[in-house]
Amino acid sequence: MTARIGVVTFPGSLDDRDTQRAIRLAGAEPVALWHKDKDLKQVDAVVLCGGFSYGDYLRAGAIARFSPVMEPLLEQAKAGLPVLGICNGFQILTEAHLLPGTMLRNDHLHFICRDQKLRVENAETSWTTDYTAGQEIQIPLKNNDGQYVADAYTLDQLEAEGRVAFRYLVRGEAADGYGNPNGSQRDIAGVTNEAGNVVGLMPHPEHAVEPLIGTGRTDGLPFFTSILKKLVNA
């Protein structure tokens, strides 16, 4: 049976079709979910895609967190449903308290769009098993509110428990994709929950799944092949 992965569209979502295509390329079936849906259509996993839900009014992800679809998603994520939040999806997951910390305006107060180099810190989550710990990858980044912050206790806890999933590579010149692009504390680009089924990151793996578009690399495809293998072997 083909794995079914839901992709939620909120008003202001931009990358839902790209995410669906990435899922299809990985070999799973994408299932469109609307923000007003009150059930998840029996999908095996869910992706909250990038964009500017509700125009980032009040705060990025703050309104989307209360959309009807989030009620079953919260319940099922806590029960083990794999959930990936990309960019705005990451912001929504922090607003919903499925992931710790929060996202603030970039420290330089400008929108940034570039190919970003990352280091994989945790290759044991539901979404990262096709990577290896320490692997360096490059995928596109585009955000205005991408600065990850948390109190010192939370940051220390994330480090101690291995829950920093990705980190921005800081060596070399920023123009080459190196450097912290938004002021995120401890260069954190993505985190996971304790169980490893919920992952959020700011860069966009769905834009790096084919050699002819995006970065010209396929460094983002393992997100989607990882979850497919997880579901098939479950």
Annotated catalytic residues are 87, 204, 206
Cβ(77)–Cβ(83) below 8 Å: yes
Structure tokens, 210: 């084919």
203 Cβ contact list (under 8 Å, min separation 6): 86, 87, 116, 118, 139, 140, 141, 166, 189, 190
